[in-house]
Each structure stands twice: as structure tokens, then as C-alpha cells.
Amino acid sequence: MPEFVDTARLEKWIAAVAASHNRIVGPLTYIFCDDPKIIEVNRQFLNHDYFTDIITFDYCRGKMISGDMFISLDTVLSNSEMVGATYEREFHRVVIHGVLHLCGINDKGPGEREIMESFENKALILLDEI
């Protein structure tokens, strides 16, 4: 886990974001890895042959969010450089992206990416207030 992560603050933030989507937080597991591992997981479980920043496995039950999230810290770093964000900000965006998926927000269909980005941005503003 990156050294800047304040787990108590992160947990409070995730709970607040989940609550804003009428969800409660159950067990969440973050597996921080590198690009070779994320592409291995992507190939094995999703039959995708490309790098990604996060892969979320959803174990939600009713209003309780739960899941395993693989996060490639390599891709988070390269994405932060590409978009001109700090590594810390991009890391938090990716963490909450997975949580938003568990809250039922999708990003693959028409118009869904913009909705996801809007929720990510609102969540990042909330993090600044925690």
C-alpha cells in the first residue's frame, strides 16, 4: 500500500460514499499489484488481454457492498502522469472507482462513463472534506 494512505480516513470516506448510494460497507479487500499481475488476472478471469488500473470482483448482498479489488499501482502511476494528476489523487480515484462499481455504477455503456466520472469527482471532493 502506498505510504500516503491513511486507512482510517479511507475507511470513513468509503463508508460515506457508499452511504450516499444507499449502501453499507461489508468486507472489502484491496490487492495492490503490478502490471504483470493485473494482466494475468485480466486474462484469467475476464479474457481481456490488456492492462487496467482496477479489476473488481463483486460479492455484494442486498445493500451491503463487498468485493475484492486488484489495483495495479504501475497503471495508477502511468495514468496519473498521462492525465496530469498526482499519484495520490489518481490512487484515490481508482479506489473509489471500484467502490462505485460495487454500488451499481457502470461505465461501459453509452453515457455511463460520464456518469461514473461525475460520481468519482463528487467522491474526491468529499475526500478533501474528511
As a whole-number percent, the residues of the chain with pLDDT over 90 amount to 85
Q: Binning pLDDT at 50, 70 and 90, where does residue 56 land?
A: very high
Average pLDDT over residues 24-44: 96
Would you state the torsion angle of the CA atoms of residues 76, 124, 86, 102, taken in this order, to the nearest 10 degrees? 0
Q: In the structure grid, which three cell numbers stand for residue 4, read together?
A: 500516503
- What angle separates helix 87-102 from helix 73-83, to the nearest 10 degrees? 110
Q: Is the pLDDT of residue 2 over 90?
A: no
Burial status of residue 89 (CB atoms within 10 A of its CB: 0-12, 13-18, 19 or more):
middle
Q: In the structure grid, which three cell numbers stand for residue 96, read together?
A: 473509489
Contact 20, 130 (CB under 8 A): no
Q: Taking the domain 7-129, which CATH number applies?
A: 3.40.390.30
Query: How do the domains of the chain map onto residue ranges?
Result: 7-129
Residue 128 confidence (pLDDT): 92
Residues making up the chain, counted from first to last: 130
Pick from 16-20, 98-102, 106-110, 114-118: least confident: 106-110
Q: Is the pLDDT of residue 71 over 80?
A: yes
Cα–Cα nearest to 64, from 26, 112, 21, 7 = 26
